[in-house]
Amino acid sequence: MSQSEELSAYTTFSRSEWAALRFNTPLTLSEADLSALRGLNEPITSAEVADIYLPLARLLNLHFTAARSLAHVKSAFLGRAPSSAPYIVALAGIVAVGKSTFARVLCALLARWPDHRRVELVTTDGFLHANRILEERGLMRRKGFPESYDLPRKQQESTSNCRRTRILSGTSYLRSIRLFEIQTS
């Protein structure tokens, strides 16, 4: 590894190098599970899940465990009772690149880890204005941009989920909408 690679915030892997980071993480999704999780025109194979998703699920589980441990250390240091906070995973990308399918598969894998009490998927798709409204407002070509979302409804729903969310994964193509931090009680 060169010095510039060592100092970079990014690490580049070949597919086989990344797949090897799975170690012995089991594939807990059946073909029937994968079939139910697939999006329209989005083929996904067991090999792809094993090579790409499982190393990521393992890495996220390690991060989640470390974050929870650090929170307990902080609580002990401050003399406070331990509290739980959500671990948030957010996905972003342009329209129709497979964010929702990726999020569904990743959530299904994370939900099967023994120490994850609850995994929820919150997408922005359900907060788009109806096509009729977008057409009335001349926004059909801006679908997926901030102005095409029903922000008050998104804020209300996000707030109502506050007490039950433990792990949140969301997908969006929002560039200027403020992200909602959901705290647990």
Residue 146 is assigned to a structural domain of this protein:
yes
Residue 2 is assigned to a structural domain of this protein:
no
CATH of the domain at 143: 3.40.50.300
H or E element that contains 90: strand 87-92
SS3 138: coil
Residue 179 is assigned to a structural domain of this protein:
no
- Tally of structural domains, the chain: 1
Q: What is the pLDDT of residues 65-85, one digit of tens each?
A: 899 899 999 999 999 998 878
pLDDT number for residue 172:
36
Residue 182 is assigned to a structural domain of this protein:
no
pLDDT number for residue 157:
63
Q: At residue 1, does pLDDT exceed 70?
A: no
Whole-Å CA distances, 70 to 33, 111, 113, 185: 34, 22, 20, 18
Going by C-alpha positions, the residue among 15, 85, 81, 84 that lies closest to residue 51 is 15
Percent of the chain with pLDDT over 90: 37
